[in-house]
Structure 1
């Protein structure tokens, strides 16, 4: 449990991670990324945990990266907290389910490509606004989204960056199902309970097999995207976009 991440075990074998920054629409800052990374590692190594559910507090999944962090252009030489989180999510050996209500912006959408299952409430709203912010895709979305959605739909979602609803997310393979507004977490927990009742060795082997074919490519894409993303983050266009956002 941290100030920005609530950790609970709502049922046997299920670990629930709730991003808890409602005043910031659950935007992800460095501290929250670090907490999520640690929580995924802990749950992944805990034999009592059979499935992990990720959601956001209140009526928002996550507004994506906290742009306040992006105003800092200092070089640290360290891997970014966001990249560490994405690696932990992509490499988690346990099934990860997402429950999305309200806004899922930027990494709030791309992280769903690394979840095994995802459920969206009917009022969910997604957006990949990287180009509009002077940035580039992250989260291996330049590789995974064309696989899930097809190259033309992926190009439209990533290049234009327009908001889209849960039905489009379903058609693009970003979520498994659209459920009644306010019931995404209920649906995710119900499915997590079903997964928790299955033989864990078989479940783990199936997840490994499903990901084995593209694990190396995902890892390389995460790294190459992060390099481009953070170079663009320091560009005048991106800094101007951030300044305009804070001037609203």
Structure 2
């Protein structure tokens, strides 16, 4: 079986993490979440790594949670996605995302924790939590209104409609939009530039940038996780999952 996360070193000081489940549009199962969390932890402690690029294989970022894996998970089992979110929130080094194809659910909310993010022009984004009988996750109930404004955040989270790369840029979810297929090159160019800067100054500046929101993000993650877990078991959510699998 191919590894669901590829770890490479495309440039000195830059580590690339590639979500590698292209047959599932890189949907994230428990094993992939665990691999991502472990890879971020390893990169955080590896002095040779100065910046990390996060991307997806096969021209797609990620379709979000693998619903088949998620639906079958016992309620009392630790959720690997939460460990990944903890790891990405705490990651002390520059994290740059390259987004192509689709970014759905946590594929969007994780971008709020990346320092920089770039999307190909044809990328489609969506936050379909409410449509699936669930609620916002990944700290997005706090961070999305902060970067996009309350009205835009309500539109994206409540309606759960698909939106474009330009709309994602305007909402503050990504820094810029590239030509289709060029997001990774742009992200790695920025990562190389970050890797060349004084590491301690970069780390301190990142920590200062997040200091004012760190406690609120932590509280949002806990509250969202509690509600998300409870909603997953409701008849509405189960009916939404069943409808999804009938498509």
Q: TM-score, normalised by structure 1?
A: 0.97
In 2, Cα distance between equivalents of 1:4 and 1:168: 29
Contact 1:73 1:234 (C-alpha < 8 Å) held by counterparts: no
| SS class of match (1:42) | helix
User: Which residue of the partner structure matches residue 127 of structure 1?
Assistant: 126
Match of 1:28 in 2: 28
For 1:57-72, what aligned pairs fall within 5 Å after superposition?
A: 57-72=57-72
Query: Cα deviations across residues 121-171 of structure 1 (Å, max 9, x unaligned)?
Result: 001100000011000000000000000000000000000000000111001
Match of 1:206 in 2: 205
CA distance in 2, matches of 1:63, 1:243: 18
State the alpha-carbon separation in 1 of the partners of residues 69 and 228 from structure 2. 14
RMSD of aligned C-alpha atoms? 0.9
Structure 1 residue ranges without an equivalent (≥5): none
8 Å Cα contact 1:70/1:233 also seen in 2: no
2:74 alignment partner, SS class: coil
Give the C-alpha shift of residue 34 in structure 1: 0.1
Deviation, 1:72, is 2.3
Matched residue SS, 1:99: strand
Equivalences for residues 41-80 of structure 1 within 5 A: 41-72=41-72, 74-76=74-76, 78=78, 80=79
Q: Which runs of 5+ in 2 are unaligned?
A: none
Contact 2:169/2:176 (<8 A) preserved: yes
User: Do the aligned partners of 1:73 and 1:233 also contact (CA within 8 Å) in 2?
Assistant: no
| Structure 2 counterpart of 1:3 | 3
How far the C-alpha of 1:70 sits from its partner, in A, is 2.6
1:28-65 C-alpha deviation (Å, 9 max, x unpaired): 00000000000000001111100000000011100000
* Deviations, residues 155-204 of structure 1 (Å, cap 9, x unaligned): 00000000000111001000000010000000000000000000000000
Q: Which runs of 4+ in 1 moved over 4 A?
A: none
Structure 1 residue 69, shift from structure 2 partner: 2.1
TM superposition score normalised by structure 2: 0.98
Report if aligned partners of 2:27, 2:66 keep a CA contact under 8 Å in 1.
Answer: yes
2:191 corresponds to: 192
Distance 1:229 1:69 in 2: 16
**What do residues 193-242 of structure 1 show as CA deviations (whole Å, max 9, x unaligned)?**
00000000000000000001111111111111011011101111111111
Paired residue for 2:98? 99
Q: Is the 8 A contact 1:5 1:19 kept in 2?
A: yes
Aligned residues of 1:100 and 1:185 also touching (Cα < 8 A): yes
Match of 2:165 in 1: 166
Equivalent pair of 2:29/2:70 in contact (CA under 8 Å)? no
Say if 1:107 and 1:138, in contact at 8 Å, map to a contact too: yes
What is the CA distance between 1:73 and its match in structure 2?
5.7
Name the SS for the 1:119 alignment partner. Answer: strand
* Count of aligned pairs: 246
How much does 1:246 deviate? Answer: 1.1
